[in-house]
A and B are shown apart, each in its own frame.
Chain A
Amino acid sequence: MHAAVIVFPGSNCDRDMAVAFRQAGARVTMVWHKDTALPDGVDVVGIPGGFSFGDYLRCGAIAANSPICRSVMAHAGRGGYVLGICNGFQVLTETGMLPGVLLRNAALKYVCRTVRMRVETADSAFTCGYAAGDEITIPVAHHDGNYFADSDTLKWLHDQDRVVFRYLDNPNGSVDDIAGIVSENRRVLGMMPHPERVVDPMHGGTDGASFFSGLAAALAHA
């Protein structure tokens, strides 16, 4: 598995994401936002958490229009895998690669804690390391993680089994407790919680390890 991790000014989970990919056996290339092309042979693009461009205008809006994002969209258009965590999820919704939007948390407060969430489907390369119904504990850290989409979009997500994670204890007001979704071809995933922060016993938990090892196994067979 060759992973590219995009680095924007203000990204702060890029190295954590690279560590998690490497731990799952991936070769990782860090890619600066001003680059116009992804390295050859990239299987999965990771868009990390942080505060790209200081969250100016709207979270993820400036990053979504950066030069590298055009290549990321082309990669996804060719059926490539893309993973957006936290700010990365915000970037994916801003590009339109995933539907909906992340609003300010309902309680208007930055939330930084671990949450319990349920794996709703194992039918994606990202979640095949889990079983549907697994309950896992993953950290969240965000101010704008309140997922919103109109009722038609929600029905569509539900009917196509595209809600991959749901909060058991909704920390931000997300509609239908949605914590993460995938694209129609199930190869683009966005989620607010941070699986890359729980991949080693020293992190205080390892519930995120199966996310990356499952992805590596799925791509090895692809």
Chain B
Amino acid sequence: MKARVHVMLKTGVLDPQGEAVRHALGSLGFDGVEGVRQGKVIELDLAEGTTEETVTQMCEKLLANTVIESYRVEME
């Protein structure tokens, strides 16, 4: 089984990389991009029966820094 973890900077935390991407899109002529936030996706191959709760613990302990990042777990 697999799990997919989406990690994003929390609202209010400045994302300079996202801002740089937004500027680059604007300079390529893509108008109307009002904001870009850049995050990461982590795919986990898990033993059958691993619970979402366990994956949540992984996020809390390592995969996300909850001071600045939020996360969302998708179990497949």
Contact = CB atoms under 8 A, between A and B. Distances in A.
Contact of B62 (A57, A106, A173): A57
A104 B17 contact: yes
B41 interface: no
Interface in A101-123: 101, 103-108
A80 interface: no
Q: Is the interface of A mostly helix, strand, loop or mixed?
A: loop
B75 interface: no
A222 B36 CA distance: 52
Interface bin, chain A: 10 to 19
Contacts, number: 34
Contacts of A149: 67
Contacts of B61: 65
A100 interface: yes
Contacts of B46: none
B16 A101 contact: no
A14 interface: no
A94 B65 contact: yes
A217 interface: no
B65 A148 contact: no
Given A57-B62, A61-B62, A103 B67 contact: no
A106 B68 CA distance: 15
B65 A58 contact: yes
A100 B68 CA distance: 9
A96 to B, nearest CB: 9
B14 A103 contact: yes
Contacts of A93: 67
Contacts of B62: 57, 61, 65
Contacts of B63: 57
Interface of A: 57-58, 61, 65, 93-94, 99-101, 103-108, 146, 148-149, 173
Interface of B: 13-14, 16-17, 20, 61-63, 65, 67-68
